[in-house]
Structure formats: structure tokens, C-alpha cells
Structure 1
């Protein structure tokens, strides 16, 4: 073999080794080490104690993996917070009637010689408080059931005009029976369809009108319902001239178990689930929902639903 040719081949293993070392270092710092950090993060996940977000400025798959990990961590702690809030809300709502029942029972047990009429009054109060507890449990159960139903919503084409008018006429009659007035208007045209689970959307309107009746805080209450299309969405507004809500509470109305007035919550028996339920339903339909101060003086709620193309 030519000595010159052998001399040319001698540096080749060195070059190959050098390239391999560079590749090993590159893979270590750009793939292996980031994956080790991610693996360590997974091992350190604790739903009770926040884990510091993984920082990465990378725009490749590894950076995307870090971002997804951080989002998963955020959702875990959000779920933990919702669970804690749920337990606190249930405990708060059950504590008041249970305390009253215990007080009445102790009174009846200690005072054996109470007049029969007074005893009957206490029995009726105990029954009333017991029914209140039953309603709270049923209300919470219906919410958890609804969350499960949302995982398998049945979307069908529904004409926006007919949906709006049917709901408006239905609640116009219902509110008039309470001496309230519903004023409605829309600009929907025929053959504009929504892909929705109509049962679920009707539940949204039911929650909105129920909140107005419960918290409107006004004898001569007027409710205003409006509908229109813009872009690829249908918009629905429900407003009232009632008491409204403070600025500080407006952005929190759709949080689960959030109530504006704790004393009013106890008086009316709500657990702050109505608007949270509305938000969950609307978002599962690909829409948005928000609250605003109505020009009529009360609270306004608006939500959007995508039009079927």
C-alpha cells in the first residue's frame, strides 16, 4: 500500500473520534440533560406543594415539552385549589343549617316542659333546615353530574332565531308570573344555525334567569335579553336593572363556589355554582362568556357560540 495513502488515512480515526465527542457533548447538553431535568421534575411533582416552573428559551420539541410540563403542573394545582374550595364551600353551606338544627334539638332535649305549640314551631324549623341541607346536596350532585355530561355533549344543528325566540317567550311568561318584565330583541335571520347541545344551552339560560330572580334585589325588576350575529359567532346578552355587583367581584363571578355576598348566599341557598356551570358549558361549545355592568344599572352577562358553517 502506498505510504502516502496510509499517511492520509492515519488522521481519519482522530477526526471521527473528535466528531463523535462533539456529538456526544451536543446530545448530552441539548437532549439528555433537559430530559433528565424533566424527569426530575416529574419525580418532584407534589399536588400540595408548587414546583418551580422549568425555564427554557428553546423553540424546538424540548422547549415545547417543557411548556407542556409547566402547563400540566399549573392545571394540577388549579385542580387542587378547586377541590379545596369545593370542600370549604360545602362545609360553609352545611354548617349554618346544621348549627341551627343542633341548637333546636338541644333546646327541645333540655326543656321538656315547652308548650306544644312552641315545640311544633321548633320541629317545623328543623324540618325546614333539613330540607335546605337536602337541596344543597342535590344542587352539588347535579353540578358534578353536569361535569360528567359535558364529556359527551350531543351537538346538533339548532336555528339561532328559533332558539332565541323559544327561550324568550318561555321566560317572558315565567317572569311575568313573578311580576317581573322581560324585554327582548334580536337581529337573527332565518337559516343561521348553531352546532349545540340544546339541553345544555337551555341550562345556561336557566342559570342566568335564576340568578336574576334570586339576586336582582328589586321589586320592579326588568330583564333585557338581546341576540345578534357578528363574524362567525352568535351573541346572547341577558341584563337586568337590579342591584348589580361591585367592580372587584365582576371578574370572579365565573369561578366555582365564588359568591359576591356570603350573607346573601346563606339567605338564598346558593353555592356559587350557577355561573361556573354556564362558563363550563359555553367553553365546551367553543364559545366565551363574560360579565359587565349593564347600562340599566344591574348585571349583564354575554356569551358567544360559534355559528355552523
Structure 2
């Protein structure tokens, strides 16, 4: 029953109940006074009867009003007091304090809205706490990643200043190491800048229509040339009967596949390392699968690999270290193109990254050759 209906009912009862009480008192008191007690109808007895009737009627009015007020208090004032107490607790920062949301009246609706607000505040508070913790972790990770090459550079520079590198060969070795660490530092700063711009949406896409087969062939050829001394078996499967054209930012898309290929090389565990790349078309999407027979990823950590600064290995060693931003950047770029990326793996056996990107509406007329 709604509050409006309760107030209307209480107003009706304020009229009906006193009238009913008057007749009940009149009949019962008359019966008791003149029949049961056998009083005669004289002036004194009638006066006494009238006084008793007025007193009982007044008491009945008081009792009826008290009961109605108590009823309204229980159904209106009590829930309002509970809401006030809940608001006070929330004002103190206690978001675990909930209110009773049962019922079908306006106050119950208000209680439900109030509790929804409390839950949203609680979720917002938890999200903010998680954001603060993530920000703290990111700052620590950035500090660590920047400090590592800087410390190394400082050590080699001190060695050159102090004359530790006494021979030309040793000085040349020191300088090559400093140059390598500088490039590592520059790459880290570049990834941090790109990651920040992608998250702040400050890095607009310069899209063009790209013929994906030629684009991937070019990236694979570059990787083969760079890793020609490594024992890697490359396999590239692609359709020959149709062109697969997508609208994409060439530079950013190149970073996606270069990063995925570098990861396949970085986490190898066999002498005969194999990288299989497959290009296909599914519905309105171009699909690129990159599979290797590397060390794989633990199932427990697989959902975390796109988190910024996350690395599966506990130690940040030189062989598999890095900024921990690679896959996070890859995911951001793919999503900014309206695509999806999924990584599946079997630890110790294989890992496969699948990238889906939407096709161009007009493929053949707008296809772009990477050699242009």
C-alpha cells in the first residue's frame, strides 16, 4: 500500500472509527447501566450515564488517534529514521551500512534508490582505491625500469672516467654497452609515451587502406633479415585468390605485429623454434594468427598479460625483461582500430596470438601497396 493510500485510509478511519465507537459505547453502556445493573430512568441516572458516555467516548478517541499515529509512525516515520541513520553512516564513510529495501511503497522505492547510490559509491571508492594502487605500482615499475639502464650507463661512464677501461678494445666495449643501454632507455621512454597517449586518446589514427598480405610479408621479411643468425623456422600461410584490405594506421599496426613476433622470439625454449603466421578472412574481419612452439604462458597468469607493466617472470632479467608495456600497447592499438586480440597458450608447448581487424568496405579500389 502506498503512502497516499495509507493517509487516505487513516483520514477515513478518523471519521469512521469514532462514529462506530460512539454507537458501540452508547449501546454497551446503556445495556450495562440500565439492563445489567437495573438502574431506573431518572434525572440523576441519565446525568451519570451521559457523563460516563462522554468520558468513554473521549478515551476511545484518544485510543483510536494513538493507534493511527502509531501505525503511521511505524510505516512512515520509522523508515525515514532508518534512511537518516544510513545517510549519517555514509557521511562518515561507512559504505557497508545498508537499509531495508523490502516493500512496495514510495519509501521502499526511496530506500532502493538510496541503496543503489550506496553501492555505486562503494564501487566508485573501490575503483578509486584500485586506481591509486595501480598508479603506485606503475610509478614503482617505471622508476625501476628507468633506473636499471641509467645505473648501468653510469657505471660504465665512471669506468671510463676512472681509467678502468685501459685498452682501446675495452673502451670500445664500454661504449658499445653504453650505446645499447641508451637505445634500451630510448625505447622504454618511447613506449611510455605511446602508452600514455593511447590511454589519453591523444594519439589519433592516420588510417589508410592497407593490403594486409603485402603488409605482413614486409614485416616478416624484415624480421627474418634481423634474425637471420637465429635458428628460427618461419611459416606464412595466406590466401592467394582474394585481397584482404583493412583501414588502419600503418605505423601503429606495424608495431602490433612486430611486438607479437618479437615476443615469439623472446620466449623461445627450443633450438628448432617455429613461428607460424596465418592470414585469413572470417565474415567482415581479417584474422591473423601468430603461433610459436615457445615456452608458453601459465593459465593462471594468462588473463593478466595485457595489464600494464605485467611480466610473467618474477625477475626482470636481461633476456626476457622489458617495459612490460608491449602487450598493453598492442591491445590498445588493436581496440582503437575496432578489432580484438586474444592469446591462448599451453605452458611448455605453444602460444598463439589471434588478431581480428575489420575489413575495408571497398577493398580492391582502395588497396595500398606497402612499397608505394
In structure 2, how many angstroms separate the alpha carbons of the residues matched to 1:155 and 1:24?
A: 62
In structure 2, how many angstroms separate the alpha carbons of the residues matched to 1:228 and 1:63?
A: 48
Q: 1:307 to 1:18 in 2, by over 3 A?
A: farther
Q: Which residue of the partner structure matches residue 122 of structure 1?
A: 174
In structure 2, how many angstroms separate the alpha carbons of the residues matched to 1:28 and 1:233?
A: 58
Q: Which residue of the partner structure matches residue 195 of structure 2?
A: 143
Q: Deviations over 1:60-88 (max 9, x none)?
A: 32332233223212221221222222122
Q: Residue 292 of structure 2 is aligned with which of 240, 244, 259? A: 240
In structure 2, how many angstroms separate the alpha carbons of the residues matched to 1:81 and 1:244?
A: 29
Q: 1:182 to 1:77 in 2, by over 3 A?
A: farther
Q: Residue 183 of structure 1 is aligned with which of 208, 224, 236? A: 236
In structure 1, how many angstroms separate the alpha carbons of the residues matched to 2:16 and 2:295?
A: 95
Q: Deviations over 1:253-274 (max 9, x none)?
A: 2222111235575336621111
Q: Which residue of the partner structure matches residue 49 of structure 1?
A: none
Q: 1:197 to 1:35 in 2, by over 3 A?
A: farther
The answer to whether the Cα contact below 8 Å between 1:249 and 1:260 also exists between their aligned partners in 2 is yes
The answer to whether the Cα contact below 8 Å between 2:289 and 2:352 also exists between their aligned partners in 1 is yes
3-state SS, counterpart of residue 92 of structure 2: helix
Q: 1:95 to 1:190 in 2, by over 3 A?
A: closer
Query: Residues 22-33 of structure 1 correspond to what in structure 2 (within 5 A)?
Result: 22-29=75-82, 31-33=83-85
Q: Which residue of the partner structure matches residue 32 of structure 2?
A: none
3-state SS, counterpart of residue 318 of structure 2: helix
The answer to whether the Cα contact below 8 Å between 1:238 and 1:300 also exists between their aligned partners in 2 is yes
Q: Which residue of the partner structure matches residue 301 of structure 1?
A: 353
Q: Which residue of the partner structure matches residue 207 of structure 1?
A: 259
In structure 2, how many angstroms separate the alpha carbons of the residues matched to 1:243 and 1:143?
A: 27
3-state SS, counterpart of residue 255 of structure 1: coil
The answer to whether the Cα contact below 8 Å between 2:340 and 2:356 also exists between their aligned partners in 1 is yes
What is the deviation of 1:222?
1.9
The answer to whether the Cα contact below 8 Å between 1:286 and 1:306 also exists between their aligned partners in 2 is yes
In structure 2, how many angstroms separate the alpha carbons of the residues matched to 1:247 and 1:85?
A: 23
State whether structure 2 residue 221 is matched by structure 1 residue 173. yes
In structure 1, how many angstroms separate the alpha carbons of the residues matched to 2:355 and 2:85?
A: 46
Normalising to structure 2: TM-score of the pair?
0.59
In structure 1, how many angstroms separate the alpha carbons of the residues matched to 2:68 and 2:320?
A: 79
Query: Residues 214-229 of structure 1 correspond to what in structure 2 (within 5 A)?
Result: 214-216=266-268, 220-225=273-278, 227=280, 229=282
In structure 1, how many angstroms separate the alpha carbons of the residues matched to 2:169 and 2:114?
A: 75
State whether structure 2 residue 152 is matched by structure 1 residue 100. yes
Q: 1:251 to 1:134 in 2, by over 3 A?
A: same
3-state SS, counterpart of residue 105 of structure 1: helix
In structure 2, how many angstroms separate the alpha carbons of the residues matched to 1:6 and 1:212?
A: 86
In structure 1, how many angstroms separate the alpha carbons of the residues matched to 2:302 and 2:178?
A: 36
In structure 2, how many angstroms separate the alpha carbons of the residues matched to 1:190 and 1:115?
A: 58
Q: Which residue of the partner structure matches residue 70 of structure 1?
A: 122
The answer to whether the Cα contact below 8 Å between 1:223 and 1:241 also exists between their aligned partners in 2 is no
What is the deviation of 1:15?
6.7
Q: Which residue of the partner structure matches residue 138 of structure 2?
A: 86
Give the unaligned 5+ runs of structure 2.
Answer: 1-14, 21-60, 103-111, 361-372
Aligned pairs, number? 289
3-state SS, counterpart of residue 289 of structure 2: strand
Q: Deviations over 1:213-233 (max 9, x none)?
A: 443455643223354548x98
Which has the larger Rg? 2
Q: Which residue of the partner structure matches residue 261 of structure 1?
A: 313
Instruction: After superposing the two structures, state which structure 1 stretch, 53-62 or 274-283, moved more.
Output: 53-62
Q: Deviations over 1:159-190 (max 9, x none)?
A: 9xx7654554443433443455242357xx99
